[in-house]
Amino acid sequence: MADEIITYRTNNGLFHSVSDLDNVKGIGEKRMETLKDLVVVR
């Protein structure tokens, strides 16, 4: 999963909101539900 996040960031730049994680391959509704309270975007 970390590789997918790094690939996304490399290709698209910084995340601007937690909901941007929805665009990462492999992060679906279930995983997003788990992550949303653990992630902070500054």
pLDDT tens figures, 1-42: 999 999 999 999 999 999 999 999 999 999 999 999 999 998
**For the residues of 11-35, what is the DSSP string, one character each?**
HH-S-SSGGGGGGSTT--HHHHHHH
Q: What is the pLDDT of residue 42?
A: 87
Reading phi first (left if > 0) and then psi (alpha if -120 to 50, else beta), residue 4 is in alpha
- pTM reported for the whole predicted model: 0.77
Cα–Cα distance for residue pair 35/38, rounded to 1 Å: 5
Cα–Cα distance for residue pair 35/11, rounded to 1 Å: 22
Q: What is the pLDDT of residue 2?
A: 94
Cα–Cα distance for residue pair 10/4, rounded to 1 Å: 10
Question: What are the boundaries of each domain within the chain?
Answer: 2-35
